[in-house]
Structure 1
């Protein structure tokens, strides 16, 4: 079978590898589509780990880092009872950097890492279930502190996660969703997905600073991981700022955040319950994944797809083996 494999930083190649056989508790998925995780793809191209201080060993396992995938069950290993051949399934969590990934025609999946999904959902509408689960984790943390319904909600960074956050905030009843991103095309997409306002945070006075006065944000999520973005929200949010983006620098949580009772949340634990809730949002139409897919390409055009991500001409790419 064909798979993408990084031989070195910036050197992904389409290679031929054997089709694997499932072991106990595993299924073999024939991949229908796999969506990019822009952070992972761009970091591997640059030779940088997603985790600060991490190290990447090249060559990477075949198919890595693809993990947002949907496919049909082609073969079943011993002990698998919940899936049969022909079932459609999507990965709800990344199986790890040491496992073969989904940029391939076939991939092995542990039964615990996949969920059955409807056959009538387009590939682009379900491949990124794993990302939907990830952002649901952040929303569950916010909901553990208090309700979202009836509150003004801010989203900073309108990449894939931010665009899902806009939709989830609406699904949970936010009275207004205010989206922030310097890229005009992404602001326009956010508006089409339910944002009430989409603003350029680099513009002077784009949103009021004083978080104690009426009209400010009650809740917010940062999807950039950039200190400047987090600090922007900390100055404008009353109750909760949740950090979804991978934070690689210090942020300023000081007296004015402390005395106002502001909660600053790091990222939580990925879990199947969050994946199941995300899947329900997708099935109901509250969470639309297809608009995040800017282009669908064959695996042979992987380099082209990553270049589109790098130049911000695409939000996500869906590759079809």
Structure 2
């Protein structure tokens, strides 16, 4: 079978490898479509670890880092009873950096990492179930503190996660969703997905800070991982700032946040329950994943797709083996 494998930083190649055989509690998944996780893809291309201080070992496992995938069960490993050959399924969580990934014609999946998905959904509408689960986890963190309904909600960073956060905030009843991103095309996409206001955070007049005004954000989620973005939200949010983006630098939590009772929360644990609720949001139309897919390309054009991500000419790319 054909698959992508990074031989070195900046050197992803299409390789020919044997089709794998599922073991106990596993299935062989025939990949229908796999979506980029842009930060993973761009970091591997640059030779930079996603985690601060991390090291990438090349060559990477075959198919890495693809993990947002949908496909059909091709064959069953020993003891598998919860799925049948021909079932359409999607991965709800990344199976790990040391496992073969989904940039391939076939991939082995543990049954516990899969959910059945409707056959009537387009591949672009369901491939990124794993990302939807991830952002649901951050919303669960917020909901553990208090309701979203009726509150002004801020989203910083309108990449894939931020665009899903806009939609989830509306689904949970936010009275107004204010979205921040310096890229105009992404602000326009956020408007089409339900944002009430879209603003450029680099504009000096963008959402002026005044901790005594009721126009502040009540709740917010940062989807960038950038210190400047987190600081921006900390000054403009009253109750909760949730950190979804991978934080690689120190951020300040000062006197006015302390005395104001602001909650700053990190990322929680990925879990199947969040995935199941994300899937329900997708099925009922509250979460639209297809608009996040800028292009669908054959797997052989993987490098071209990552270049589009680097130039911010695409939000996500879907690859078909």
* TM-score for the superposition, normalised by structure 1: 1.00
Q: Is the 8 A contact 1:208 1:216 kept in 2?
A: no
Q: CA deviation at 1:209?
A: 0.5
Q: CA deviation at 1:210?
A: 1.4
| 1:213-232 equivalent positions in 2, closer than 5 A | 213-232=213-232
Q: CA–CA distance in 2 between the matches of 1:55 and 1:129? A: 28
Match of 1:287 in 2: 287
| 1:90-239 equivalent positions in 2, closer than 5 A | 90-239=90-239
Q: CA–CA distance in 2 between the matches of 1:29 and 1:118? A: 16
Q: CA–CA distance in 1 between the matches of 2:191 and 2:268? A: 28
Listed one character per residue, the Cα deviations across residues 130-185 of structure 1 (whole Å, up to 9, x for unaligned) are: 00000000000000000000000000000000000000000000000000000000
Match of 1:72 in 2: 72
Match of 1:83 in 2: 83
Match of 2:15 in 1: 15
Q: CA–CA distance in 2 between the matches of 1:129 and 1:91? A: 7
Q: How many matched pairs? A: 321
Q: Is the 8 A contact 1:212 1:238 kept in 2?
A: no
Match of 2:49 in 1: 49
Gaps of 5+ in 2: none
Q: CA deviation at 1:214?
A: 1.1
Q: CA deviation at 1:212?
A: 3.1
Q: CA–CA distance in 2 between the matches of 1:214 and 1:53? A: 41
Secondary structure of 2:71 counterpart: strand
Q: CA deviation at 1:211?
A: 2.9
Q: Is the 8 A contact 1:76 1:85 kept in 2?
A: yes
Listed one character per residue, the Cα deviations across residues 83-107 of structure 1 (whole Å, up to 9, x for unaligned) are: 0000000000000010000000000
Q: CA–CA distance in 2 between the matches of 1:307 and 1:205? A: 33
* TM-score for the superposition, normalised by structure 2: 1.00
Listed one character per residue, the Cα deviations across residues 269-290 of structure 1 (whole Å, up to 9, x for unaligned) are: 0000000000000000000000
Q: CA deviation at 1:199?
A: 0.2
Please list every run of at least 4 consecutive aligned residues from structure 1 whose deviation after the TM superposition is greater than 6 angstroms: none
Gaps of 5+ in 1: none
Match of 1:266 in 2: 266
Q: Is the 8 A contact 1:211 1:217 kept in 2?
A: no
Q: CA deviation at 1:238?
A: 0.1
Q: Is the 8 A contact 1:221 1:244 kept in 2?
A: yes
Q: CA deviation at 1:208?
A: 2.2
Q: CA–CA distance in 2 between the matches of 1:258 and 1:43? A: 35
Q: CA–CA distance in 2 between the matches of 1:211 and 1:296? A: 45
